[in-house]
Chain A
Amino acid sequence: MKPPLFDYCSAQSVQDALQKLHETPGALILAGGQSLIPAMNFRLVSPSTLIDINRIPEFRKVEVTSDGIVVGATIRHRDLELDAAVHAANPLLRLALAHVAHVPIRNRGTTVGSLCHADAAAEMPMILLLTGGSVMAQSVSGTRTIPAEEFYKFHMTTAKASDELIVSARFPALPRGAGYGFAEFARRRGDYALAAVGAIVSCDDSGIVTDARLAACGIGSKPVRLTAAENALNGRRADKAAMAEAALATADAVTAPDDTQVTQAYRRHLLAGLTRQVLAQAVSARKEAIA
């Protein structure tokens, strides 16, 4: 229950961190450490070097513009959750962040760190996918933007190369007038979700759904879009019948096998129920936005 030996380096600038990452085999980035340090305490991970990026001022920034929110690499979950401008731009973030572990963990854990850790049951990777967000990866040889749908490969596996550092993440703003919802089920408060669902529903003036976006986590090896459910809603009025049909259409999205907590059948049932909940939330949120 004590971490193995490692070299420690407190990076003073972005370039310093990238250079160190480039030249040190087996090095890992230390941001909030709320997933990395427990893994080290269990000796599941033994980095040769920890490159601490907490003293780099560029990473301690949240930028909110009319089209999105750009979150720096060391912004804590809790800072993002309490940020009024972030909430105004996209209220889904606060809704989901309230389900990420507990306040003392959110006080140190970083949102970008959680995105990179890529636990298949984690909320924020799902929100990145749901909102159509992306991450900015930087290495000594340059910078690239990776959209969420390309970033997530498998449980705890992303498209990030070992010499890349995710310097920021971008969450698009909620589309004007869109309804939104988020719901999750976990056995204990703050646990990883057995399943969680998020929704963004845009409609035209006559109430016909023009763009339904649904995503879920905890149900497979990575966060997924619920495309069959989206298709069941698009082009239709978001009434009870359409929502029920969408909820039923989620069943095939569950690929997680029976595990020590629940069966696959249980997760399918749960996912359908959560989908109905978030769609109801989204419809009432849209009505409020119009009123």
Chain B
Amino acid sequence: MRHKPAIAPNIPSVSADPTVEVTMTVNGQTVTRHVSPRMLLTDFIRHELGLTGTHVGCEHGVCGACTVLIDGRAARACLTFAVQADGAELRTIESEASEDGTLSELQKAFAECHGLQCGYCTPGFIMNIRAHLESGEKLDLSDEGIRDMISGNLCRCTGYKNIVAAVRKSAQHFNRK
């Protein structure tokens, strides 16, 4: 006998999971929260900190939409538990534009080259490219080299040509010709 589902009177809004305390620096600001060990860093950034610029695409490391910088290196926030980032320095897409909303050179290059359409994948691209530009490693700015650099980020709108142009343009601002 099936019953018609009824609206529950009171669903707890907080997870019943046991929690641990984590402290990290996010975009220059120190934050402390109590989180379940199974909380992914994506969910921590979005739901605990309210920074919704980091996007959730595939949740298994394929699409790159959730890419953030952990201690200066690009990483998948969906393949990292928030507890693992205890003590780390994080940067998200919200660190790109300045306080008054002025876009970073990297963001401007994407806008000028039409490197985005729907924009869902863009934060991941920007953070990945940011890490490469700041890494100090020699960059290969040929089409092939740039395509290798962004191979871990999927875009379903642009076909990548304009993204490649945006990377090359932004690299000029970093004197990485």
In the assembled complex, which residues on chain B have CB atoms less than 8 Å from the CB atom of A7?
A: 37
Report whether A54 and B38 are in contact in the complex, using a CB–CB cutoff of 8 Å. Answer: no
- Residue A262 at the B interface, CB < 8 A? no
Report whether A103 and B38 are in contact in the complex, using a CB–CB cutoff of 8 Å. Answer: no
Report whether A108 and B75 are in contact in the complex, using a CB–CB cutoff of 8 Å. Answer: yes
Q: Which of B20, B73, B84 contacts A107 (CB 8 A)?
A: B73
Q: How far is the CB of B159 from chain A (nearest CB, A)?
A: 15
CA distance A282 to B75 in the complex (A): 34
Q: Evaluate whether A6 and B61 lie within 8 angstroms (CB atoms) in the complex, with A38-B79, A104-B128 already known.
A: no
Report whether B37 and A189 are in contact in the complex, using a CB–CB cutoff of 8 Å. Answer: no
Q: How far is the CB of A124 from chain B (nearest CB, A)?
A: 17
Q: How far is the CB of A48 from chain B (nearest CB, A)?
A: 12
- Residue B40 at the A interface, CB < 8 A? yes
CA distance A8 to B59 in the complex (A): 20
- Residue A42 at the B interface, CB < 8 A? yes
- The majority secondary structure among interface residues of chain B is mixed
- Residue B100 at the A interface, CB < 8 A? no
List B residues 140-156 near A (Cβ within 8 Å). 147-149, 151-152
In the assembled complex, which residues on chain A have CB atoms less than 8 Å from the CB atom of B80?
A: 33, 37, 108
Q: How far is the CB of B47 from chain A (nearest CB, A)?
A: 12
Report whether A2 and B38 are in contact in the complex, using a CB–CB cutoff of 8 Å. Answer: yes
- In chain B, what residue has the closest Cβ to A52? B84
Q: Contact string, A1-42, partner B, CB cutoff 8 A, digits 1/0?
A: 111111110100000000000000000001001100110011
- Residue B167 at the A interface, CB < 8 A? no
Q: Contact string, A59-103, partner B, CB cutoff 8 A, digits 1/0?
A: 000000000000000000010001000000000000000000111
- Interface size of A by Cβ–Cβ distance < 8 Å? 31
Report whether B74 and A8 are in contact in the complex, using a CB–CB cutoff of 8 Å. Answer: no
Q: How far is the CB of B121 from chain A (nearest CB, A)?
A: 13
List B residues 30-74 near A (Cβ within 8 Å). 36-38, 40, 43, 59-61, 64, 67, 70, 73-74
In the assembled complex, which residues on chain A have CB atoms less than 8 Å from the CB atom of B40?
A: 2-3, 37, 41
Report whether B76 and A41 are in contact in the complex, using a CB–CB cutoff of 8 Å. Answer: no
CA distance A103 to B67 in the complex (A): 11
Q: Evaluate whether A105 and B38 lie within 8 angstroms (CB atoms) in the complex, with A33-B79, A37-B79, A37-B80 already known.
A: no
Q: How far is the CB of A170 from chain B (nearest CB, A)?
A: 26
CA distance A6 to B74 in the complex (A): 26
Q: Which of A8, A41, A82 contacts B83 (CB 8 A)?
A: A8
Seen from chain B, the residues whose Cβ lies within 8 Å of a Cβ on chain A are: 17, 20, 36-38, 40, 43, 59-61, 64, 67, 70, 73-76, 78-81, 83-84, 128, 131-132, 137, 147-149, 151-152
- 5 residue pairs bridging A and B, Cβ less than 8 Å apart: A104-B67, A104-B152, A105-B152, A189-B151, A190-B151
Additional A-B contact list (10), CB under 8 Å, known A41-B40, A104-B75: A30-B81, A33-B84, A34-B61, A34-B79, A37-B79, A38-B59, A38-B60, A104-B64, A104-B74, A189-B147
